[in-house]
Amino acid sequence: MKNCYLESILTNKPHMKFLTCHLISKATLFYTLFFCFVFTLNAQESKKRLPIIDVHVHAMGGNPNVPPLCPWFLKNMPGSGPDQEQPSFMNTNCISPLQPARSDAEMDAAILRANKELNITMVVSGDAKAIHRWHKAAPDRIIPSLGISNADEMTVEAFRDSLSTGFYKVMGEVAPQYQGMSPSDMSLDEYFGVAEELGIPVGIHMGTGGNGMANLSRPKYRASLGQPFLLEDMLARHPKLKIWVMHAGYPMVDQMIALMGANAYVYVDLAGFIWSYPLEEIHAYLKRLVQAGFSKRIMYGTDLMIWPGLLETSIEVIESANYLSEEQKRDIFFNNAVRFFNLDASKFE
């Protein structure tokens, strides 16, 4: 008799198919099923991914009108002039462009899959409704973050109240550069004071924003306002504030290294440039930070937006970095963020 009972149990466990279609008695069936169970458990155990903390995720819904995206699309900066057709910011000229989430449900499902299957915990800022939905679905894997880049967005009192509820654990993304402001601008100083007082870590955008940011998309944006040194006055006013420089101040690595040397609590994330600039350039930048001795202060971040595939794409950049030791990779993916955000590592096992 062909053992179709066992076969049906194993149909969706391809690694177990070698056990199927044997002629077995009822007694051996019991033992076979027992070993099958143990084997499956072990296989799942060994397949469980090591935890990753992604410190830079933007909460948003899906949108059917957003085009697909090719990672590392800035490897050919377009040449153009003011009287010529505006160059496209992105292109779809690659083998398999990453598809956008076309609906809120699709985006939510992608985030939950990343939380569960890829074992990724995310620091999430942006659309409050999406943050609440994601947090409800996976409360242990979503760390809500409250962003403010301009005093017009929220009063200091409202900001303090929002943080005091305990829902938001982080302040970010703070991006005064897009507003034509330095992070040391006094209009933001009281907000940083509240974060310092409440022990809330802060993520600040410093660096580039893509091609033509100042003259094509955000007229107030200034490249010079992304210089890491502009953080110094603010840090001097808030000696206990814990900040991380988002996008690692790319491409101003010398200033970044000097700033981290002078300010012992400053960390960086690798978000955004890890999937947009040329791969060799990304590796050169990361390698320089590590070479300078800062592998304990670099955190993994995606800058995830509407294309869920950016997660695996960006993770692979770190996985494939042959100049990083396994220990350095684990520091970047997990240990550094655990230390920076005062998390309990045992809760991620």
Binding residues for Zn ion, rule: CB under 5 A, are 205, 246
Cβ proximity to Zn ion: between 205 and 283 the closer is: 205
Instruction: State the minimum distance, in angstroms, from the CB of residue 173 to Zn ion.
Output: 5
Q: Which of 55, 39, 58, 44 is nearest to 117 (CA)?
A: 44
Nearer of residues 111 and 246 to Zn ion, judged by Cβ: 246
CB of 205 to Zn ion, least distance (A): 4
| Integer angstrom CA distances of residue 294 from 244, 260, 289, 340 | 13, 8, 6, 14
Report the SS3 class of residue 182: coil
Closest distance between Zn ion and the C-beta of residue 172, in Å?
A: 9
β-partners of residue 269 are 299
Q: CB of 348: closest distance to Zn ion in angstroms?
A: 25
Calculated CA dihedral for residues 112, 143, 274, 230, nearest 10 degrees? 160
228: left (phi over 0), alpha (psi -120 to 50) or beta: alpha
Residue, CB closest to Zn ion: 205
Cα–Cα distance, 332 to 271 (Å, whole number) = 12
Nearer to Zn ion, 72 or 221 (CB): 221
Is the Cβ of residue 135 or residue 205 nearer to Zn ion in the bound state?
A: 205
CB of 13 to Zn ion, least distance (A): 42
Q: Return the number of the residue (141 or 205) whose C-beta is nearest Zn ion.
A: 205
Contact yes or no for 106/64 (Cβ under 8 A)? no
